[in-house]
Chain A
Amino acid sequence: MIPALEIKNLRKTYNSTIAVNDISFTVKPGEFFGFLGPNGAGKTTTIHCITGIARITSGSIRVFGHDVVEDYREARKQVGLAPQEFNVDIFGRVWDILDYVGGFYGMRKHERKERIEHLLEQFDLTEHARKEFRMLSGGLKRRVMLTRAMVHNPPFLILDEPTAGVDVELRHMLWNYLRELNKEGKTILLTSHYLEEVELLCNRVAIIHKGSIAAIDDTSAFLKDGKRLEHMYLEITKKAINTET
């Protein structure tokens, strides 16, 4: 079976700083994969390498078998990215933002209209469709970012801290929605600092620390002996620090 994501010996440097140091891992189709690590560990850099925002220094990345450099058009069609930051035209109206993104992915007008109407309803954004992005509350902005990632209905979703700064209701609504999507067969890569969220949703978890994979296993393996993911996470990252010193 072709992996949804296959990263081989990925290395990313910024001048002399090593952001990602020779990491390799795969994500199977249909998996709900947690990608954890402290701030600056290399999560977002890895995501940027997968999606084409960053140039790869060395190594390779394939999305559903498509190399993200050589076969970037096909690779990018497979991925929907909801980034950590609001990287959006703040003066743009919600509908236009989604419509343009659908167009960039080659969707026809009627397909875009149908898909956007469906997603706006799903995320309770219909009444905000004609508002400028900058006029929305933080929670609504986060919903728009998630909606934007899904416009072209990609099989692989990358959600970089999608619940940061959202209220409890939206977080629960989002969890249910993501579970549904995963059940329907979507592969999801999730980064989050809310470890209970990862524990609840993800089948498998990788922990990245200072650019290297410190641990990767099924979520259940992190939870043995009645431990919580948070304890294991702290143990692993602490151990990684001790090994370095």
Chain B
Amino acid sequence: MYIHSASTFTGEANADINFLKEEIRRYTQENFRRVNRFILLSLLGALQCVHQQPLAAATAVYLTTEDGNLGETADILDEIYTSRSLPRPFGFINTMSNTAAFYLARNLGIRGRNITVSSQHLSFERGLELLKTDFTRGAERSALIGGVDESSLSRMDRKESAGRGWRMVDGSGWFYVKSEKEGACGAFTEIMSFRDGPSCMRWIRERERSPAAVVSFGALIGDDEATALRETLRPAAEFDYLRDYGYSGSAAACGVSLFVRLFQAKTLLHINRDQRGNYAVIELERY
């Protein structure tokens, strides 16, 4: 899966929605009405990613998200339960988070697969697995894959991020990937899944590739675990994207795409886990 471009948008929590619309106008003439923050975040990150890139009509979209359309779902619940009325029709439709992937596909004139998928703390990694399956089967040859989340009001997220000193942000990190190498700026060389920490550590110890130049850790990798991984991997650098760019449900997608844009180093190993102790590793190589 060759990376042809990557982009990241991280924005302050609860930033004015008109700011997002203004930013989007840098990439498209289309005036998006009846859309919400989640859709605008998806559009902004993805349109940045493929700006001035010619796209095949069969390009697919894989939108990964932890929480999907939080804000407008809450608004629509308020319309029903507090205002005691029928909801706004388009507001209701936009509670379905795949509308973000629809607006993106329509704006870009692409009609490949259109998938919105989630998996607690490993949404981006699981989306990459679906993409890999489609590429292997020849079902798709080019795709946009991204992770998008509004800054969360979730008590658990707030506790987690405050405890680690991360600020809460809106996040939208995207990749344009193709099965062809020509013109690529990098590649996803491994997407590995492990059922526990020791299996993950064993794979890391036994991998025969050149050492990772840069390592980064997902939000649930604790300090002790990170220390052990650092000692095993001995990377030239560590990219603490959560500290530097903030936390959102899609921080992993944002962090990995930031690596492509910000680092000159050749290889990134991104190690992540969920609350059950399942691990996932993304290995990315820059050209």
Question: Do the two chains bind?
Answer: no
Chain B residues in the interface with A (C-beta under 8 A): none
Residues of A within 8 A of B (CB): none
